[in-house]
Amino acid sequence: MVKGSKKVIDLLNEGRARELTAVLTYMAQHYELANDDYGKLAKVLKDTGITEMKHAEALAERILFLGGVPTTKPDAEIKRGEKIAAKIATDIALEEGAVKLYNEAAVVCAAERDHVSKDIFEKLLGDENEHLDMFINIKEHIDQLGGQYLVTLTGK
């Protein structure tokens, strides 16, 4: 077993806690939206949640490889029952936080000479930037079109 830097293991666990929050948030939103017949938006959130699950697993595998113990606790409470615009604002904040953390973590990992962990954070960063862009686009559609846009998200 490789012994990793405590700084890197702590960053990997911070990222994992953030990913667990994202998984639980997006899946809760998926269930609520599907129940309210916003099937198209529910599917987007389900797919995003599954991607975040894969991120959490990749971080856990690296933590274990470095001799650490992966956290099983999300880093925030999961919001429930928000209106759609508020859900998307929550999602934007989650993704902005991930982008900030992963940018900073990649720099620290490079300084600690752990380029494998740095590469993991950079890969996740690419995915989180895509998620952020998607949620910003959804927010802009809601802001510009309101109910007319939301009606396009109903059904399957």
Q: How many residues does the chain have?
A: 156
Any domain includes 156:
no
pTM of the predicted model as reported, rounded to 2 decimal places: 0.94
Domain containing 24: what range? Answer: 6-151
Tally of structural domains, the chain: 1
Is the pLDDT at 4 greater than 70, yes or no? Answer: yes
Any domain includes 1:
no
> Distances from the Cα of 103 to the Cαs of 100, 106, 141, 152, in angstroms?
5, 5, 28, 35
Any domain includes 46:
yes
Any domain includes 12:
yes
Answer whether 48's CB lies under 8 Å from 131's CB: yes
Is the pLDDT at 156 greater than 90, yes or no? Answer: no
Instruction: Assign residue 22 the CATH number of its domain.
Output: 1.20.1260.10
Q: What is the pLDDT of residues 82-122, one digit of tens each?
A: 999 999 999 999 999 999 999 999 999 999 999 999 999 99
